[in-house]
Chains A and B, each alone.
Chain A
Amino acid sequence: MSDIYLDNNATTRVDPEIVEAMLPYFTEQFGNPSSLHSFGNKVGFALKNARKQVQTLLGAEHESEIIFTSCGSESDSTAILSALKANPERKTIITTTVEHPAVLTLCDYLETEGYTVHKLKVDGKGRLDLEEYKKLLTDDVAIVSVMWANNETGTIFPVLEMAEMADDEGILFHTDAVQAVGKIPMNLEDSSIHMLSLSGHKLHAPKGVGVLYLKRGVRFRPLLRGGHQERGRRAGTENVTSIIGLGVACEQAMKHMEYENTEVARLRDKLQAGILSQVTHAFATGDVDNRLPNTANIAFEYIEGEAILLLMNKAGIAASSGSACTSGSLEPSHVMKAMGIPYTAAHGTVRFSLSRYTTEEEIDRVIEAVPPIVAQLRKLSPYWGDGKPLENPEEAFAPVYA
C-alpha cells in the first residue's frame, strides 16, 4: 500500500504531464528569452503562452497584468511594499489576524518601521466583521491585504466585496490567493482586486515560481530593479522551465475546476464526517459552510498535534498540524488562537488537505486509521480518564505552568 498524501495545502505533486512539458526547456530549448537569436526567441514565445494560460485561469483582462515571481511570498512582499512606496503619504496597512506569515511577518516588521497595521479580528468560525473593516478605510490607508482563502482552515473571505469597498475609497486592495487559485473559479477582470498573489507549487506546478497579478493602471514600484524582464517590474532572468510548468498547471486547473468543487469536496466531507462520527470531543474548525473544497481542519481535544502526525505518518498518512511543536514555536497556530479555540484543542488540530489525485479508497483508509490513533494518545493524556475527558478537565489537571 502506498502512502496517502493529504497535505496538499503545504505543497502538491507536480503532474507528470507538467513535467513532460517542462523537460525540453532544460535541454534543447535552453535559451534566454531576452535573446534575439532563435535559441531565445522560441523560449520567449513559450513564456508568452504560459502568461496567457495564467491569465485565463485568473480571468485577467490583459496578459501584461501577469508578473512572474519566484514564489507566493515574493508576490506578497512586492505587492505590499509597492503600495507603500507608491503612496508615501499613506502610513496605514489593513490586514487580518489570520494571514499567512508571508504577509503577517512583513507587516510586523513594517510596524517597527513606523507604519500602523490594523489586523482585522475573526470570530469563532474565522469570519471577518465587515463593519469593523468599513470604519478603518481612511485616507491614511496605503493598502488592504486580505487572503482569499485561509491555508489552515480553508475559510474563504469575501474579498470581492472587500476589494470593492476599498476601491470605492480609493484604496489599493491586494489578496493573497495562494490557496484559492486553482481551487475556486475567479474572474479578476470584473473585480476591484488590484493585486493578487499565487504560488505555483500549490496547484501542481513546481516550487520556485509565483505570480503577482497587477491590474492595469495600478501604480507600481518594483521590488527587484535591474533588467527589463517582466517589463521592468521584476528584474532577473525568468525561471523559464517552472513558468512553463505553471502555465500548463493553470490550464489543467481550469479543466478540473468542476471536479475539484464536486468530487474533491465530496471526499473531504466524507472524511470529516467519517472521523467525527467515531471520535468524540473533536470538531471541525473554521467556517465549514464557506471553505475551500479540499480542506478539513479537525481539532482533537486533549491531545497534541505533532504526536498525532507522527503516529499517522507511521500509518502511512501525511497531514499537518497547527500545534506549536510542529512549527518549533511556543505558541499554537495564530489562526486557531485568533478564532479563540482553547489551547487544549488548538494544539490538537490536524489539517487534511486533499487534491484531485486523492481517491475514495485512500479516504476510507484514513477514516479507519485516525480514530485508534486518537484513542491511543488520549490514553496517555492527563486530561483523559476512562474513555472520556475528566470532569472539569481544566481543574482536575491544573499543572504548575512554566
Chain B
Amino acid sequence: MWDYSEKVKEHFYNPKNAGAVADTNAVGDVGSISCGDALRLTLKVDPETDIILDAGFQTFGCGSAIASSSALTEMVKGMHVDEALKISNQDIADFLDGLPPEKMHCSVMGREALQAAIANYRGEEWVDDHEEGALVCKCFAIDDVMIRETIRENGLSTVEDVTNYTKAGGGCSSCHEGIENILTEELALRGETFVPGGASKKAKKKEALVSLDTGAPSATPMTAVQRILVIEQVLEGLRPALKADGGDVQLVDVEGKNIYVNLIGACNGCQMAAMTLGGVQQKLIETLGEFVKVIPHTEREAAEA
C-alpha cells in the first residue's frame, strides 16, 4: 500500500466539494484515461471581480487523485483567478503534506484542470503541453518523456549527464539500467552509440559534478557575487513557506553550477527533502536562467570523505 499522509487520507475518505457546481461558468476536463485518472473541475467565478466563489470536482481516479482534487477545490475557493493560476502542482502536493513520487502526476492533473477551467471561463482554448511517460526514477518522480526531452534538448550522452540535468538516477541508482536503455535509443536516433561509464564510474561522477556547464547556455553572464546575491534572494523568497513547515534552508557554497545548501529542521532527512530541494532548484534555474544543481551540503561532505 502507498504511504499516504494523514491529510491525503482525510481528503480521500471525506472529500470536500465533490460534485459539479450547479451554475458553473468555468469547466476544466483533463485526464489520462490510460493511466486511470480523469478530472472535471467546475468553478463559479464572479464575472465582476474574477473571484472564484465556488468549486466542485468529479474525479475518476485513485485515492490520491481524489484527494488532490478535493485539496485543489479547497485551495482555490475565494481566490482571484490570476492568483489561482499561480498554484503549482507542488503547491497541491504540499497542501496534502506530500504525495508519493508515483503519485505526483495526480497533483499535475489538478493544476491542469485549473488552467483548463480558467481558460474556459475566459473563452480561451486550453492546450495541454504536458506529456506524461512511464515513471523511470522513483526517487525523484522523473518520467520517460522528461528524460528524453532533456537528452534531446541538451545533447546528453551519459547517465551522469541525465542525473545532473533531471536528477533522475541521483538517488538509489536502481533506475540506471532504465536510463541507459533510454540513452541507447536516443543516441541511436542521433546516429551515435551509447558508451556506458564502465568501472571508472565513481571517479567520473565527481568530475561531472563540477563540469556541468556543457550544453546549457546561460542567458545572462553575471559576476560570482551577483549570482550569489540572486541565489540568496531566491532562498529568501522561499523561506516563509519552508518555515511554515518548521524548516529552513541555508546557502553554504556556490561552486560553478553546484549550489550547496543546508536543509534545516522539518525538511531535513524526511522524504520531502528531495521534493523541497527539487522546488528550490527549479526556482533557481528559472531565476538565474541557467542550469544549476542544488545539493545538500551533507552530500558533498560524504562525497569528499
Contact = CB atoms under 8 A, between A and B. Distances in A.
A and B bind? yes
Interface of A: 302-307, 310-311, 313-314, 323-326, 328-332, 343-344, 347, 379-384, 397-402
A56 to B, nearest CB: 38
Interface in B88-109: 102-103, 108-109
Contacts of A382: 29, 38-40, 58-60
Could you say which of A305, A329, A380, A383 has the most chain B C-beta atoms within 10 Å of its C-beta?
A: A380
A343 B60 CA distance: 11
A397 B133 CA distance: 23
B146 to A, nearest CB: 13
Contact of A399 (B1, B18, B38, B133): B38
Given A306-B63, A380-B59, A398 B29 contact: yes
A306 B12 CA distance: 11
Contacts of B35: 324-325, 330-331
Interface string B120-134: 000000101011111
B36 interface: yes
A400 B33 contact: no
B13 A402 contact: no
A400 B112 CA distance: 10
Given A325-B37, A382-B39, 18 more contacts: A304-B36, A305-B62, A306-B62, A314-B13, A325-B62, A325-B63, A325-B103, A328-B102, A328-B138, A330-B32, A330-B35, A332-B34, A343-B34, A380-B58, A397-B29, A399-B39, A401-B32, A402-B30
Contacts of A307: 12, 61-63, 65-66
A402 B28 CA distance: 13
B71 interface: no
Contact of B33 (A313, A344, A379): A344
A310 B12 contact: yes
Contacts of A381: 58-60
B278 interface: no
Nearest to B144: A330
Contact of B130 (A305, A306, A402): A402
Contacts of A305: 36, 62
A384 B58 CA distance: 9
B170 interface: no
A383 B60 contact: yes
B31 to A, nearest CB: 4
B15 interface: yes
Contacts of B159: none
Contact of B29 (A310, A380, A399): A399
12 contacts: A303-B60, A304-B62, A305-B62, A307-B63, A311-B13, A314-B13, A325-B37, A325-B63, A399-B29, A400-B112, A401-B34, A402-B109
B243 to A, nearest CB: 33
Nearest to A330: B35
Contact of B34 (A303, A326, A331, A400): A331
Contacts of A401: 30-34, 128
Given A379-B18, A383-B60, A401-B128, A328 B29 contact: no
B19 interface: yes
Could you say which of B31, B64, B126, B133 has the most chain A C-beta atoms within 10 Å of its C-beta?
A: B31
A402 B134 contact: no
Contacts of B15: 380
A398 B12 CA distance: 24
Contacts of B131: 402
B43 interface: no
Given A330-B34, A381-B60, A399 B135 contact: no
